[in-house]
Amino acid sequence: MSFRKTAQVQFLGVQHKGLWSKSASHSKSSSFYMEEDGSIDVEAALDTVADAYRISRDPRNYLFIPLRANSADRPNNNLDGWELNELQRYDDIVGVPVYRTYDLKPHFVNHNAANLTLSRGVILDSHLNTQNPADDMVKQAVFEATGKEVDRDIFVELLVAMDTTKDPALAEAYRNGSVDSFSMGCDVVATQCSACDNVATNDFQLCSCVRGKHSRIPVECLDGERRLAWEKCMGTIFQEISAVDDPADETALVQEGILKVAGANGLNKQQIQEVTAFVVRHAKTMPEAVAGILNQALQGG
């Protein structure tokens, strides 16, 4: 049995036509892929996964997006985290350090990962970024989480290749910055409580500290100090990276179409609200073919 974990990651920039554009909100982070010379065999990577992911084999069809993924030694917003020794740990089953289990994994939208052919691209490469000194915010975050002082802000950085021919609308959203939110997905064998060191391999083994972690009330730790409890992930295999809030998904398209048709057919305000509410609740669960047909009909196609 394993735990499935998801968490927001940070958009560092995007490469379009050979030029890098940094994200304004994260411009202070030094990016390995944007600032260091490196050699990645993009063609070989695409040849490996193109058929499985149904993506282009031509590197010219891609945007390249560096992302800040997992921070070391401090929890994310979900109060899950990875110690540096876990990220660096060599996994003898897959034959790479844990952070490199990201390599060649798919790029989805909204963790819609049930089918590999829904991938919009691939994670080309991963790198343990140790270039950034810890600023006061990072130092405080690590100290509050662990009681330890650090001088480096260490994190896993990913290079994602997004197939612009498969989803042109999403590609444009990356270029203009209207979509810059990403989330990683992984499986972990166990988690260890940061407060009491309890190790759990299933939900029934979780301690009271972890069960109550989202109340964000400090608990007494083994060193006698009171801190927020968080889960240290162990036995990690990273599985995918997702864009969230895709502007081109069927929810937005179908909702827009229904509003146009509803207004044109004289529905009153309450009726339009009822129809819109239905779409918001159910559009994402519609099969893609149904959403496409409905949207085409609503737009007069």
- Residues 218-275: tens digit of each pLDDT: 999 999 999 999 999 999 999 999 988 644 444 434 444 444 555 555 666 556 555 5
Separation between Cα atoms, residue 180 and residue 299, nearest integer Å: 28
pTM listed for this prediction: 0.74
124: tokens are: 């080309």
Residues 124 and 230 both lie in one domain? yes
Residues 37 and 174 both lie in one domain? yes
At 111, give phi and psi (nearest 5°): 55, 30
Residues 209 and 288 both lie in one domain? no
- List 65's β-bridge partners, or say none: 160
Residue 83 has pLDDT above 70, yes or no: yes
Q: For position 250, what pLDDT does the model report?
A: 40
Encode pLDDT of 21-70 as tens digits: 545 444 455 666 666 655 788 899 999 999 999 999 999 999 888 888 88
Of 230, 241, 153, which is closest to residue 191 (Cα–Cα)?
230
Dump the DSSP string for 115-183: -GGG--EEEEEEEEEEEEEP-HHHHHHHHHHHS---SEEEEEEEEEEEETTT-HHHHHHHHHTS--EEE
Residues 235 and 270 both lie in one domain? no
Residues 17 and 133 both lie in one domain? yes
| β-bridge pairing 231-243 and 106-109 | parallel
Residues 262 and 199 both lie in one domain? no
Separation between Cα atoms, residue 106 and residue 219, nearest integer Å: 38
Query: Of the residues 198, 221, 243, which one is the last residue of a structural domain?
Result: 243
Query: Of the residues 200, 222, 243, which one is the last residue of a structural domain?
Result: 243
What percent of the chain has pLDDT above 70?
69
Q: For position 207, what pLDDT does the model report?
A: 94
Residues 202 and 258 both lie in one domain? no
Q: Quick check: helix, strand or coil at residue 174?
A: helix
Residues 53 and 112 both lie in one domain? yes
Q: For position 97, what pLDDT does the model report?
A: 97
Looking at every residue in the chain, the average pLDDT score rounds to 80
First-residue to last-residue Cα distance in the chain: 48
Domain count, the chain: 2
Residues 207 and 279 both lie in one domain? no
Q: How many CB atoms lie within 10 A of CB 118?
A: 15
Residues 237 and 215 both lie in one domain? yes
Range of the domain at 257: 250-298
At 279, give phi and psi (nearest 5°): -65, -45
Q: For position 34, what pLDDT does the model report?
A: 67
Residues 173 and 30 both lie in one domain? yes
Q: For position 292, what pLDDT does the model report?
A: 57
73: tokens are: 């030694």
Residues 233 and 255 both lie in one domain? no
